[in-house]
C-alpha cells in the first residue's frame, strides 16, 4: 500500500482522511515522520493556504504530501467566515466561540444558506495538484449533535435531517466537502 503524508496538526481531519482513504493508502501523520512543527497559513484564499501548508511540509520532509484548507462560506455574511473560519472569533478561540459568533451574526436572518469548501493541495514528485470539494446546506439556529468538529453542530447539509455532528462519520465523510475533495485526489493518484 503506498504511503502519503498528510500535512496537518488537526487530529479530526486526520481521522476523517484515514476513514476516507485508508483502505487504498497508508496516510502518515506528521508524528509518524517525527515532524513537530507549526504549519503557516497566512494566505488570503483557501487555495493559497492549502498550497502554502503542503509546500511547507514538503520542504520539511522531502516527501510526497498533501494539505487541506477548509472554509465555511455563509451567503448572508458575504462568504464569511471563509478563509478565516479557524480563528473567526479571535486568536486562540474555540470551535464553540466561532459557532456563538456566527449564530449571533445570523440572529433574525432568514437566508441561512452556507457551504463548506475544501481545497486539497497534493505535492506529488515536486508538482502541485489542487482538488476542490463543496457541500451546500444551511446554518440552523441551535447546536445539534456532539460528533465531528468545528461548525458541524450547526451545519445541516441539503437533503438531510441530521447535522454533520449528528451523523455517523461514514455518512458525513460520504457527502462532505473533505470527502469529495479527497475522493478526487484518490482518483488522480490511483488512476
Query: DSSP state, 25?
Result: S
φ/ψ of residue 82, rounded to 5: 50, -125
Residue with cell 441530521: 162
Q: Is 70 in the site for ligand IMP (CB under 6 A)?
A: yes
Under 8 Å between Cβ of 145 and 162: yes
**By CB under 6 A, how many residues form the interface with ligand IMP?**
17
1 vs 41, beta carbon nearer ligand IMP = 41
- CA 128-182-165 angle, to 5 degrees, is 135
Interactions with ligand IMP, residue window 36-55 (CB under 6 A): 41
Cell (9 digits) for 67? 494539505
Is residue 69 part of the annotated active site? The answer reads yes
Helix (H, G, I), strand (E, B) or coil at 106: coil
Q: Is 85 in the site for ligand IMP (CB under 6 A)?
A: yes
Applying CB under 6 A, the span of 54-62, 68-76, 104-112, 135-143 interacting with ligand IMP comes to: 68-76
Among 47, 53, 67, 50, residue whose Cα is nearest residue 5: 67
- Choosing from 6, 56, 131, 151, the residue that interacts with ligand IMP (CB under 6 A) is 151
Residue 105 Cβ, how far from ligand IMP at the closest point, in Å? 15
- Among the listed residues 3, 36, 69, 147, the single catalytic one is 69
Q: Is 95 in the site for ligand IMP (CB under 6 A)?
A: yes
- Choosing from 150, 154, 180, 181, the residue that interacts with ligand IMP (CB under 6 A) is 150
- The DSSP element (H or E) to which 134 belongs, if any, is strand 127-139
Binding footprint of ligand IMP on the chain (CB under 6 A): 10, 41, 68-70, 85-86, 95, 98, 148-152, 164, 176, 178
Amino acid at each position: 500500500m503506498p504511503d502519503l503524508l498528510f500535512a496537518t496538526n488537526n487530529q479530526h481531519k486526520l481521522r476523517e482522511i484515514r476513514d476516507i482513504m485508508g483502505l487504498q493508502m497508508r496516510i502518515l501523520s506528521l508524528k509518524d515522520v517525527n515532524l513537530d512543527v507549526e504549519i503557516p497559513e497566512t494566505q488570503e484564499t483557501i487555495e493559497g493556504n492549502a498550497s502554502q501548508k503542503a509546500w511547507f511540509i514538503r520542504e520539511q520532509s522531502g516527501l510526497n504530501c498533501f494539505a487541506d484548507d477548509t472554509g465555511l462560506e455563509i451567503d448572508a455574511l458575504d462568504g464569511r467566515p471563509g478563509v478565516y473560519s479557524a480563528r473567526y472569533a479571535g486568536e486562540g478561540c474555540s470551535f464553540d466561540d466561532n459557532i456563538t459568533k456566527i449564530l449571533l451574526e445570523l440572529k433574525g436572518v432568514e437566508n441561512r444558506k452556507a457551504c463548506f469548501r475544501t481545497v486539497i493541495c497534493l505535492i506529488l514528485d515536486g508538482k502541485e495538484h489542487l482538488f476542490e470539494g463543496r457541500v451546500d446546506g444551511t446554518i440552523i439556529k441551535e447546536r445539534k449533535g456532539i460528533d465531528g468538529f468545528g461548525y458541524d453542530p450547526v451545519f445541516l447539509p441539503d437533503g438531510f435531517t441530521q447535522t454533520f455532528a449528528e451523523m455517523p462519520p461514514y455518512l458525513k465523510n460520504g457527502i462532505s466537502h473533505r470527502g469529495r475533495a479527497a475522493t478526487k485526489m484518490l482518483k488522480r493518484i490511483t488512476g
